[in-house]
Amino acid sequence: MASDPKRKARVASIVILVAMVGWMGASWIGGMIGLPIRYAFLFDFAAMAALLWAMVVLFQVWKSGQD
């Protein structure tokens, strides 16, 4: 990824938005069609991984601003 902090922050914010909307949408659709609970855990873990990645990137942006 580029070293531009604004670009990193923008990408991280897009990942957060897509992860949250996708997580809620997948949970809602899964409930509507009756998917097994193991798929709910799959959606949960995928969203948590995306949010963890975004948190790491935002921490890097914050640390680069401290220098």
Comparing CA positions, the residue from 6, 14, 13, 1 lying closest to residue 64 is 6
Q: Which domain holds residue 46?
A: 5-66
Q: Which two tokens stand for residue 58?
A: 């935002």
Residues 27-64: tens digit of each pLDDT: 999 999 999 999 999 999 999 999 999 999 999 999 99
Residue 65 confidence (pLDDT): 83
Q: 10 Å Cβ neighbour count for 38?
A: 7
- What is the DSSP code (8-state) at residue 3? S
- Both structure tokens of 37: 């609970």
Q: What is the pTM of this model?
A: 0.85
Looking at the structure of the chain, the number of domains it has is 1
- In terms of Cβ atoms closer than 10 Å to its own Cβ (0-12, 13-18, 19+), residue 65 is exposed
* CA nearest neighbour of 44 among 61, 27, 58, 60: 27
Confidence band, pLDDT 50/70/90 cuts, at residue 2? low
